[in-house]
Amino acid sequence: MTKNKLVVISLDSMGFRDLNEQRQLVPTLDKLIAKGTWVKRVQGIFPTLTYPSHTSIITGQYPAVHGIVNNTKLQPRRLSPDWYWYRKDVKATPLYDVARQAGLTTAAFLWPVTAGSKIDYNLAEIFPNRIWTNQVLVSLKASSPLFLYEMNKKYGKLRNGIKQPWLDDFVTACAVDTLENKRPDMTLIHLVDMDSMRHRYGVRSAEARQALHRLDRRVAKIIQATKNAGTYAETDFVVLGDHYQINVDKMIHLNMLFEQAGWLRSIPGKTTYRNNWRVTAKTCDGETYVYTRGNVDLGRVKQLIAGVEGVEQIYDGADAVKFGADPQCSFLVEAKPGYYFTDEVNRPAIVENVDPSSLGTHDRYHGVHGYGPTQPNYFTTAIFAGPHVKEGATVDGARLVDEGPTFARLLGLHYPAPTAGQAIREIFKD
């Protein structure tokens, strides 16, 4: 296989349904499908959250192995816990490290869990989470400092803090500039516009459709940048989603149940709780982990959870291990579509309607993800196109963990250890 370049564009929350039913909104993706191979239904991982999913995409491993088992860390006293921002939290080998060791240049734009990595040109996704920090400062520590300084100087005016759609416009401008001027061998781009709109307005809202159309135009700009750079003919493109979303109107606050049972204590006047819990829920939105410590009757915990409205399924720790979720949990609990979990306490009831006027504030959503990947009509999707990819082909299904090994094969790279995923052979020309 001749040496070539790879550009991976993740359109956060893009599902199979988007490409199957709304193709008129995405003329650029439509052309890519015609010119390449569409892997239609891609099954995600437990839990279908952005950080665990992107880490599975790039390592070819499940969360139990790569260690990014959730978006955020268990920090009961904090309303807004820290995210898994840093490369050092990833226990498996991401493909950008394999590429770098093989002498390829790498670039990443808001690709999750890359802060502090050795990517050559990196704008890491990290945002201020403490009142005494500001965004530029946090990002400077997390990214390639000179690169971030240059990009911010040139394109910072496009940005409005971390609000959409301006953030994606900024990220696209930075990616275009880098593709044109640095010509990296491997480029990872993460655009979040549609996911934000779905959380706020609903999965199939007009706002989400408009975001999908904006994303299509951004993909067109990114492809054009490789043409301007003279690298188009040797570049394989991948446009993929990380998960889909499901509409919700009710919240489940399991930690209130655990407080009633005497297993944790809330902080008076706040929706947070103390660190000395014996049983705690840690949300993944559509699912929640339940952790226990000390002498706790697990049968009683399970029985109490089973009695809560909106609980669809309670998997025990052994199931979680089998699914590749956090092996430390005692239970992995799945909500029925329409419900999602929070970590909050001191709310009016364990199950509460989402007040429409609260949408857009912390943890108040119209759409969420984080359910098990086995929910109906919940597949994500992926398009491959470029010199090594079969033209005009489709593949019915694959797994999210197959994507990294497929990228590796496109670049002629090998992970240092066997991966859970396998390269999707049907996409290759030869």
SS3 label, residue 27 = helix
Q: Based on CB atoms, which residue is closest to Zn ion, 120 or 242?
A: 242
DSSP bridge pairs for 198: none
Q: Based on CB atoms, which residue is closest to Zn ion, 308 or 400?
A: 400
How do 186-191 and 106-109 pair as beta strands? parallel
Q: Which stretch binds Zn ion (CB under 5 A): 129-137, 234-242, 332-340, 352-360?
A: 234-242
- Minimum CB separation of residue 388 from Zn ion in Å reads 27
- Minimum CB separation of residue 408 from Zn ion in Å reads 22
Q: Based on CB atoms, which residue is closest to Zn ion, 50 or 70?
A: 50
Question: Quick count: other Cβ atoms within 10 Å of Cβ 19?
Answer: 23
Distance CA 163, CA 142 (A): 19
Q: Which two tokens stand for residue 391?
A: 């033209």
- Minimum CB separation of residue 10 from Zn ion in Å reads 8
Which residue, judged by CB position, is nearest to Zn ion in the bound state? 50
- How many alpha carbons lie under 13 Å from residue 208 in its C-beta half-sphere? 24
- Minimum CB separation of residue 135 from Zn ion in Å reads 20
How many residues interact with Zn ion (rule CB under 5 A)? 3
Q: Which two tokens stand for residue 15?
A: 């599902």
Site string for Zn ion, 194-233 (x = CB under 5 A): ----------------------------------------
Site string for Zn ion, 11-50 (x = CB under 5 A): -x-------------------------------------x
Site string for Zn ion, 71-100 (x = CB under 5 A): ------------------------------
Q: Based on CB atoms, which residue is closest to Zn ion, 56 or 255?
A: 56
SS3 label, residue 393 = strand
Site string for Zn ion, 236-275 (x = CB under 5 A): ------x---------------------------------
- Minimum CB separation of residue 105 from Zn ion in Å reads 26
Distance CA 401, CA 421 (A): 5
Q: Based on CB atoms, which residue is closest to Zn ion, 12 or 287?
A: 12
Q: Based on CB atoms, which residue is closest to Zn ion, 242 or 344?
A: 242
- Minimum CB separation of residue 49 from Zn ion in Å reads 7
- Minimum CB separation of residue 246 from Zn ion in Å reads 13
- Minimum CB separation of residue 141 from Zn ion in Å reads 24
Q: Which stretch binds Zn ion (CB under 5 A): 4-12, 83-91, 159-167, 202-210?
A: 4-12
DSSP annotation of 306 reads: H
Those residues with Cβ within 8 angstroms of residue 362's Cβ, 6 or more apart along the chain or in another chain? 79, 80
Distance CA 53, CA 59 (A): 10
412: left (phi over 0), alpha (psi -120 to 50) or beta: left
Distance CA 165, CA 211 (A): 8
Distance CA 373, CA 379 (A): 7
Q: Based on CB atoms, which residue is closest to Zn ion, 18 or 242?
A: 242
Q: Based on CB atoms, which residue is closest to Zn ion, 12 or 402?
A: 12
Site string for Zn ion, 356-395 (x = CB under 5 A): ----------------------------------------
Q: Are 162 and 129 in contact (CB under 8 A)?
A: no
- Minimum CB separation of residue 83 from Zn ion in Å reads 12
Q: Based on CB atoms, which residue is closest to Zn ion, 69 or 257?
A: 69
Q: Based on CB atoms, which residue is closest to Zn ion, 12 or 193?
A: 12
Question: Quick count: other Cβ atoms within 10 Å of Cβ 53?
Answer: 30
Q: What is the DSSP string of 226-278?
A: HHHHT-GGGEEEEEE-S---EE--EEEEHHHHHHHTTS--BPTTSS-B-S--S
- Minimum CB separation of residue 54 from Zn ion in Å reads 8
* Straight-line distance from the first to the last Cα atom of the chain, in angstroms, rounded to the nearest whole number: 9
Element housing 277 (H / E): none
- CA torsion angle 51 55 57 62 (round to 10): -100
Q: What residues line the site for Zn ion (CB under 5 A)? A: 12, 50, 242
